[in-house]
Structure 1
Amino acid sequence: MKKYVICGVSNRAMGMFIGPMLEHFTEGHSIVGLLDADPRRFEVCVTAYPALKEIPTYFPEQFEDMMKATQPDALIVTSRDDTHVDYILKGLAYDLTVITEKPMVTNAEDAYKVLKAEAKSRGKVIVAFNYRYNPFHRKIKEMVLEGKVGRVTSIDLNWYIDTYHGSSYFKRWHRIRKNSGGLSVHKSTHHFDLVNWWIDQKPVEVFAYGALHYYGPEGELNPKREAGRFCGTCDVKIDCPYYMRWTSRTNQTSVRDDHLKIEDMSQQYTNYRPDACIFDSEIDIEDTYVVNVKYDKGALLSYSVNFSTPYEGYRLAINGTRGRIETTEYHEPSRVPFPFPEQTIEYYPLFGSKEIIHVVQNKGGHGGGDPLLLEDIFLGPDPRRHYDILAGAKAGAYSIAIGEAVWRSCQENRPVKIEELLPIEADRGGVANASTLCTDPSG
């Protein structure tokens, strides 16, 4: 029986790991401890999952006590982003398998600490990059491996986050850079990892521009310049287009947070409000980026992301010496306010006829990615898959390094080399064992 402790009893912990472990992966796997700073989260968790009512709970300062009492084999890190590094390093010091939500950490310095710690440990790190497991993303990887585009030369990736989803990052702790690393880390590392994985090249240099256009006190749709407001008690919320797009004057229920188990504001977690005003003056992150990334084998990425768009989705093109791959996704269909086509993958050979590929899909969160990721984590990699997909510490580190380089480039108005943030020896000597992709995590 492999024993797990959960560090951070968040909704992600409950929905992504605890629930599936209790429902689908009971054989050979058990949860033996929960750790969080807020005792209210333990109450919510046990209410949702009564099977855990006898499981011991711990506060962060009791980590060592938890290790001694539970003797776990693996650590699952689902706490706030800026706390990931502490639990990852502690888990590796105990030679554990550490499964962490993305982003692995919030800055490249901490990423390098993880690489060094993993190299010295008998444990290893798994980063839960579920976007890799989306059926469209797996098919694109397979097409690149098959040589459909030849040598990859350029990638265009434009990501759109709608006003419902995008504004949620500015209502919560993500809006403070020290908590999240900013959205070029918290969100865009998902996207950077996808590109790194698709093309199997290492990023070497980044140039970017970024700005806070929509949120913060200068946002032109701000109905009132006053700090410290919350949607649930705001006296001008009916004048806020961001709020009123998803509600009405006669149906103003409590603001719902997709990332929480509780919807009643009076029952929320201790000292946590998920409905802070998106126009508050404490916001210190950007909501818009345009980015160029140069890779070691010559590929060039053109990337953009916007967190205040009318609909959600992305547009992708991968160009190579033999052809081009294109796809467009419209995400969250219930929130797309117009008819839209089914997502397909279009392949244009350099010489020949266009192909349209209809991808076989599966159910589950993140476009069907979550269930397959969990299978690889708890059952080991699918033996029928002929390529690596489960991400390790080095993949996490490169995605973080790009994300931080984006922010630094915005601030300093210059290209930023990845080796400035993530020393190049991380890929040669002392931390070479911190491999890009993990092997069987169940071993």
Structure 2
Amino acid sequence: MRKKYVLIGTGGRAEFFYGALAKDFKETGELVAFCDVNQTRMNYANKLLVEKYDHPEVRTYLNTEYEKMIKEEQPDFVIVTTVDRTHHTYIIQALELGCNVITEKPMTVDAEKCQEIIDAVNRTGKEVRVTFNYRYAPHNTKIRELIRDGVIGDVYSVNFEWALDTQHGADYFRRWHRDKRNSGGLLVHKSTHHFDLVNFWLGTEPETVYANGGLRFYGKENAEARGVKHFYQRAHGSEYAKDDPFAIQLEDNEHLKAMYLDAEGEDGYQRDQSVFGDGINIEDTLGVMVCYKNKAILTYSLNAYLPWEGFIISFNGSKGRIEVKVREQSYINSGGEKSDEGAIEEKAITVLPMFGQPYEIEVVEGEGGHGGGDPVLLQDIFGEPGEDEFQRAASHIDGAKSILTGIAGNISLQTGHAVKVDELIKL
């Protein structure tokens, strides 16, 4: 029997889900409705359904009609891909109306909203699935396998550096993410992927978090301090933006124009704000130290303005060390030049035994984003999933444990003190 799905939030991330339902999972799932604050954007999503996926249009509801949509459509699942700060509202209401939920990461942006979701799951008995596609990337699954199998013994410490380049990293400072109230900052919105991976790899959860960092590169004050002058707040219609390599020209990209520029009249959202303008209050340079319940420690850094995209990790254990380097193709969310988000350009996993010769680990990549991980995730959530020895499916508890590292980091940034994760919420 096919499951019935509705989706709320038809922005840049939504097509990943509705496109898969329309193209690859017609036998197991039925997409019946869109919901959004913006009718123009929903109309464009329907246009893509028809022209790109040969799927009939679905009914549309404004966000004020969310409850009406669920009562009329009677879906089995609600897919939540709205602005991060609103995730909890739609997740909880869907649960209380009898639906299971599939939500884009992060599950929410602060401890209070996280507790509300956990309480709603406990109260309703329904399910929340958080879509951590990085778990499914073959190289990340291989890391879990190596650690699980004791190749380097007990892991005592992890050094994890994530690099966002000047195409992808800058994009967080053009969009709604630039306001921390919307996204929780990069420690929540982006790093939730990375903190989840550490939990997943080590089979543990965070205990204490200390963070430091700030807005060092982007923003008007930083640009002026470097002698760079920017005379615009958004790129569209600005002569100054035409020569700015950090600007994005919506009118030059048919997809971005239809999804955002043509929809501005309804909600006023500007997708192309200057990364060196006013109004940015998230960090672009971050360092975090985490102590885990199994006594392992993590040193983590994220920088959002680098000349390459990817990550470097080292795992130090009782029997040796694992070194990982993965270089990804950069992209711009919803409409970039690259065909696959997170496509792998270069990867290397090296095991260095304590007594023995180093050796490389071969990892076979698949088709699709994140080294073939995205199609595996989509099969897991929309198809007929098989047995998974690595237990990559992520629940609301996994979603909570990942964001709590970032939430604790945000509190530490404000207070200058280490934060006990168990004091933030009750799981």
Q: Deviations over 1:378-407 (max 9, x none)?
A: 224332x31211101011111111111111
Aligned pair partner of 2:221 in 218, 221, 229: 218
Q: Bigger shift: 179-188 or 216-225?
A: 216-225
What residue in structure 2 maps to residue 2 of structure 1? Answer: 3
The alignment partner of 1:170 has SS state of coil
Q: Deviations over 1:323-382 (max 9, x none)?
A: 21111111117999xxx9941210112222212012100111233221110111122433
Matched, 1:399 2:402: yes
Contact 2:142 2:363 survives alignment (8 Å):
yes
Aligned pair partner of 1:58 in 41, 61, 64: 61
What residue in structure 2 maps to residue 34 of structure 1? Answer: 34
The alignment partner of 2:129 has SS state of strand
Matched, 1:168 2:163: no
TM-score normalised by length of structure 1: 0.87
Contact 2:177 2:185 survives alignment (8 Å):
yes
Question: How many residues were matched structurally?
Answer: 409
What residue in structure 2 maps to residue 19 of structure 1? Answer: 19
Contact 1:254 1:265 survives alignment (8 Å):
no
The alignment partner of 1:22 has SS state of helix
Seen in structure 2, the aligned counterparts of structure 1 residues 414 and 120 have a Cα distance that, compared at 3 Å, is same
Matched, 1:301 2:298: yes
Q: Take 1:28 and 1:263, find their aligned partners in 2: how far apart are those partners? A: 30
What residue in structure 2 maps to residue 441 of structure 1? Answer: none
What residue in structure 1 maps to residue 160 of structure 2? Answer: 157
Aligned pair partner of 2:76 in 73, 78, 98: 73
Q: 2:383 is matched by which residue type in structure 1?
A: L
Aligned pair partner of 2:357 in 340, 353, 359: 353
Q: Take 2:250 and 2:11, find their aligned partners in 1: how far apart are those partners? A: 23
Matched, 1:237 2:238: no
Q: Bigger shift: 260-269 or 129-138?
A: 260-269
The alignment partner of 1:84 has SS state of helix
Q: Bigger shift: 278-287 or 124-133?
A: 278-287
Residues 359-438 of structure 1: pairs in structure 2 closer than 5 A: 359-383=363-387, 385-423=388-426, 426=427
Q: Take 1:137 and 1:229, find their aligned partners in 2: how far apart are those partners? A: 39
Aligned pair partner of 1:267 in 262, 268, 271: 262
What residue in structure 2 maps to residue 316 of structure 1? Answer: 313
Shift of 1:235: 3.1
What residue in structure 1 maps to residue 198 of structure 2? Answer: 195
CA RMSD of aligned residues (A): 2.3
Seen in structure 2, the aligned counterparts of structure 1 residues 95 and 148 have a Cα distance that, compared at 3 Å, is farther
What residue in structure 2 maps to residue 86 of structure 1? Answer: 89
Shift of 1:256: 5.0
Shift of 1:287: 0.5
Q: Bigger shift: 372-381 or 66-75?
A: 372-381
Aligned pair partner of 2:327 in 306, 315, 330: 330
Shift of 1:222: 6.9
Q: Take 1:325 and 1:205, find their aligned partners in 2: how far apart are those partners? A: 24
Q: Deviations over 1:181-212 (max 9, x none)?
A: 11111111111101111001110100110110
Contact 2:261 2:271 survives alignment (8 Å):
no
Seen in structure 2, the aligned counterparts of structure 1 residues 208 and 363 have a Cα distance that, compared at 3 Å, is same
Q: Take 1:2 and 1:222, find their aligned partners in 2: how far apart are those partners? A: 57
Structure 1 residue ranges without an equivalent (≥5): 247-251, 427-443
Seen in structure 2, the aligned counterparts of structure 1 residues 371 and 222 have a Cα distance that, compared at 3 Å, is farther
Contact 1:204 1:294 survives alignment (8 Å):
yes
Q: Deviations over 1:208-234 (max 9, x none)?
A: 1011011111123574365x6212222
Q: 2:8 is matched by which residue type in structure 1?
A: C
The alignment partner of 2:173 has SS state of helix
Seen in structure 2, the aligned counterparts of structure 1 residues 399 and 39 have a Cα distance that, compared at 3 Å, is same
The alignment partner of 1:396 has SS state of helix
Shift of 1:253: 7.9
Q: Deviations over 1:76-120 (max 9, x none)?
A: 001111111011101211232200000111112111111111112
